Chains A and B, each alone.
Chain A
Amino acid sequence: MTDLKERVVPIDTTGDAPPRWTVPQPVRDAGKHLGLVVLAIVMLYPVIWMVVSSLRPSSEIFRSPGLVLDSFEARNYSDGWDALSSPFGHFLTNSAIVVLGCIIGNLVSCSMAAYAFARLEFTAKKLWFGLMLGTIMLPIHVIIVPQYIMFSNLGWVNTFLPLIVPKLLATDAFFVFLMVQFIRGLPKELDEAARIDGAGHPRIFLRVILPLMLPALATTTIFTFIWTWNDFFSQLIYLTDPEMYTVPVALRSFVDATVATSWGSMFAMSVVSLLPIFLAFLIGQRYLVKGIATTGIK
């Protein structure tokens, strides 16, 4: 809309040009900042409110939309921590094990596949590469039934294996693609030099390429961390024994078990479950932004 207003400039008939009738730049910028800050607050308000509410007595959650704490109440946290069959720390540990396994799996398997796609020539490479890209868009729901049947026949239900083993097999094609893009950007002369020195592909990969692709590995690590930590669908399907629950599955059972009775402790554990994501975001922001900008992943 502003552009229309701007274009209606009083026609200068006198000859000594009066200033164009527009809002001065500093004022416009201030307005823009004000709007953006208000929007940012509106967007983050629910999350901040949840954090604040988790520190209030449960009864107050339904009465105080404000963000100011009158008193500091840690009881929700101690209540929530012990509300389920195991202390919440147990679920945090389970999630941490799954996340760690997935990170290692992705780093090893995706970087190997990426090296082959970026640097080696082989039969029907285009076909394989196209297939790999195609699997990026494959919904997990399409493969979950046969996968479940296979893992259940192997006796892997209620273990972490169905969550970790696929990552060891480079099935997160996103990261293969991200790493391929990165390796393509590295100068080929480095490989050639190593080859002249007598290095084979495993050596070039380990000694030349891997050390140079640390930023791509960092991006992969952070995204794997956040996605696996948040992942609910496959953890819900494969982990049905409360002993094996990860954080999202535990939180969900918490919700269904205690509806409307203890929002305070539920909020408290929700905050606990979001904390690692938030920390990963703070630490890895640079890589996250780079990662989505180059591959468009979420």
Chain B
Amino acid sequence: MSAIGELQRLSAAKGSPPRKRDNKAAFLFLLPWFAGLVLITAGPVAASLLLGFTDYNLLQPPEFNGLENWTRMLGDERLHQSLLVTFKYVLISVPLQLAAALGLAMLLDRGLRGLSFYRSAFYLPSLLGSSVAIAVLWRQIFGAEGLLNQLLDLFGIQGRGWISDPDTALSTLIVLNVWTFGAPMVIFLAGLRQIPAMYYEAASVDGAGRFTQFRKITLPLLSPIIFFNLVLQIIHAFQSFTQAFVVSAGTGGPSDSTLFYTLYLYQRGFNNFDMGYASALAWLLLLIIAAFTAVNFWAAKKWVFYDD
């Protein structure tokens, strides 16, 4: 059902018997895609690997500088800070977001009336969440005189400048990501639909309580979808950019507390035109995401349950 399941199946499948080939027709149909692969996706991936070993500022031709970009990373404190910020963001916001998504999906399942209304209400933030407009709103809400502090004031609580305080700035972005739990929730809902109701009926006849049912039926049968959501949301969270950019006016501040990795990459590449270093940074990001995904796939063997 999912791209990830498809990839797992591909890697497991053995060669199928040869059939009649339509190489010519296939080539024509795939021509645009093929050009895109060479020029827009795979080609640039390879090019940025090469550029990562050069010094390049767009004006002079790139100059090979060996491992300099990579050794420079070791002493680059802003890079370390951006890694720290990004890891925190990913490791806190993704589990919270998925927990909210799963919890709500389970509440909404099982023939609740008004399902489509709730689903829409919870899903809408997922569509709006990545826009500049919502980032503008966030900047107001969590500002020193923003909406949150007005509300806290009603209860006599003294607020603070949530975005201007380095201790809390990142939390406001985590809240924003959790706010967009609607998309994984819809995926969970579709997954829950696939679990036959008779499993629960049988379990309940056997005297299993709700919690046991959740642990023994829902979790194992939903685990491929949980896995899928986890992989996807982690990859997605690593790439977050817009919100941090708008909330911090492009600086990653205060005190680099919202300096997402992608934001730092943008600054190096497109503010400083330090293209060689930015390419090396891009490749590091790719390696980090690949490593996270690989660990996820490895760990999946231990907890993801495949019916077939």
Residues of A within 8 A of B (CB): 2-4, 6-7, 29, 32-33, 35-36, 39-40, 43-44, 46-47, 49-50, 61-65, 108-109, 112-113, 115-116, 120-123, 125-126, 128-150, 152, 166, 168-171, 174, 176-177, 200-202, 205, 226, 229-230, 232-233, 236-237, 247-248, 251-252, 255-256, 259, 263, 266-267, 270-271, 273-274, 277-278, 281, 285, 288-289, 292-298
Contact = CB atoms under 8 A, between A and B. Distances in A.
Given A142-B286, A145-B275, A255-B246, A230 B123 contact: no
A266 B39 CA distance: 38
Contact of B40 (A64, A166, A247, A277): A166
A36 B140 CA distance: 26
A7 B242 CA distance: 48
A133 B120 contact: no
Given A267-B137, A281-B120, 16 more contacts: A125-B26, A133-B7, A135-B41, A142-B48, A144-B269, A145-B51, A149-B275, A174-B3, A201-B29, A232-B242, A233-B262, A255-B139, A255-B249, A273-B132, A274-B134, A295-B2
A3 B214 CA distance: 11
Contacts of B136: 251, 255, 266-267, 270
Given A50-B137, A201-B29, A255-B139, A273 B23 contact: no
Interface stretch (B66-74, B75-83, B277-285, B299-307): B277-285
Interface of B: 1-4, 6-7, 10-11, 13, 19-23, 25-33, 35-37, 39-45, 47-48, 51, 58, 104, 107-108, 112-114, 118-128, 130-134, 136-137, 139-141, 145-147, 150-151, 154, 179-180, 183, 186-187, 189-190, 209-212, 228-229, 232, 235-236, 238-239, 241-242, 245-246, 249-250, 262, 265-266, 269-270, 275, 278-279, 282-283, 285-286, 289, 293
Contacts of B27: 122
Given A133-B7, A142-B283, A169 B33 contact: yes
B242 A233 contact: yes
Which 6 pairs of residues, A with B, have the shortest CB-CB distance?
A169-B36, A3-B210, A270-B133, A122-B26, A293-B190, A146-B47
A143 B22 contact: no
A160 to B, nearest CB: 15
Given A6-B209, A130-B10, A122 B21 contact: yes
Contacts of A132: 33, 37
A203 B158 CA distance: 69
A4 B36 contact: no
B132 A251 contact: yes
B230 to A, nearest CB: 11
A126 B6 CA distance: 11
Given A205-B29, A251-B136, A281-B127, A4 B209 contact: yes
B295 to A, nearest CB: 15
Contacts of B13: 126
| Interface residues of chain A: helix, strand, loop or mixed (majority) | helix
A6 B210 CA distance: 9
Contact of B32 (A43, A112, A120): A112
Nearest to B30: A116
Contacts of B132: 230, 232, 247-248, 251-252, 255, 270, 273
Contacts of B183: 292, 297-298
A47 B119 CA distance: 17
A64 B150 CA distance: 8
A252 B246 contact: yes
Contacts of B239: 139-141
Nearest to A285: B120
B131 A120 contact: no
B242 A169 contact: no
A245 B253 CA distance: 25
B235 A277 contact: no
A139 B286 contact: yes
A112 B133 CA distance: 35
| Interface residues of chain B: helix, strand, loop or mixed (majority) | helix
Among A43, A133, A146, A259, find the residue whose CB has the most chain B CB atoms closer than 10 A: A146
Nearest to B23: A122
A267 B279 CA distance: 37
A298 B126 contact: yes
A170 B32 contact: yes
Contacts of B36: 109, 166, 169-171
A122 B23 CA distance: 5
Nearest to A108: B32
Nearest to B21: A121
B30 A142 contact: no
Contact of B130 (A47, A170, A230, A295): A230
A149 B29 CA distance: 28
B48 A113 contact: no
B22 A120 contact: yes
Nearest to A41: B121
Contacts of A263: 140
Contacts of B180: 298
Contacts of A232: 130-132, 241-242, 245-246
A127 B10 CA distance: 9
Given A109-B36, A233-B242, A296-B232, A40 B7 contact: no
A296 B187 contact: yes
A50 B187 CA distance: 29
Nearest to A112: B29
B209 A141 contact: no
